[in-house]
Amino acid sequence: MIRFALEYAVQNGRSLVTICHKANILKAASGLFLDVGREVADRYRGRVEVNDVIIDAAAMKLVLDPSQFDVIVTTNMFGDILSDEIAGLVGGLGLAPGANIGDRVALFEAVHGSAPDIAGKGVANPTALILAGCLMLDHLGQGEVATRIRTAIEGTIHDGSTLTPDLHGHASTAEFTEALLRRLR
């Protein structure tokens, strides 16, 4: 996993990989994660900078100044917590895409997953899922298409006339989607 994060950073021109851990308390599991991370990072010296941050401090630093981070690699539990925190920083779960990328398979989804409590009510914000599709397009080498979609999303949100309830608007899922599609035509 750490090798993959470092390879991702190198291949995508990223400058810093931060290993988030809790090795100070979870000495066996998180300590091993950190030790392996540092060992693997040594092989990337000169190509990408690597640092490590205890998860508590990382959570605080993300709130205070997210620009301190470029690529974060951590365990599933900490990653799940940080992804929800980061979603809050960008406007909520309805705006946050997720990607789980491995050597042979990749999965793209909204960070929040499903929302059965609002299924069929027409109030869901489709942005996170559409942005996850953009991450998939990037992964498949279709970055230009992804950029076009992202630009349409940005324009639709900045326009403000067809926002879903989570963004303090009154538009339905379908109305938001139609406004987005008009920008793509």
pTM of the model: 0.83
- pLDDT tens digits for 136-163? 999 999 999 999 999 999 999 999 999 9
- pLDDT tens digits for 40-69? 999 999 999 999 999 999 999 999 999 999
DSSP 147: H
44 contacts 6 by C-beta, under 8 angstroms: yes
At 112, is the pLDDT very low, low, confident or very high (cuts 50, 70, 90)?
Answer: confident
Domain boundary among 48, 71, 89: 89
Clarify whether residues 69 and 104 are in a common domain. Answer: no
Clarify whether residues 147 and 177 are in a common domain. Answer: yes
What's the domain range around 35?
1-89
Clarify whether residues 156 and 139 are in a common domain. Answer: yes
User: In the structure encoding, which two tokens stand for residue 80, read together?
Assistant: 């799940």
Clarify whether residues 106 and 83 are in a common domain. Answer: no
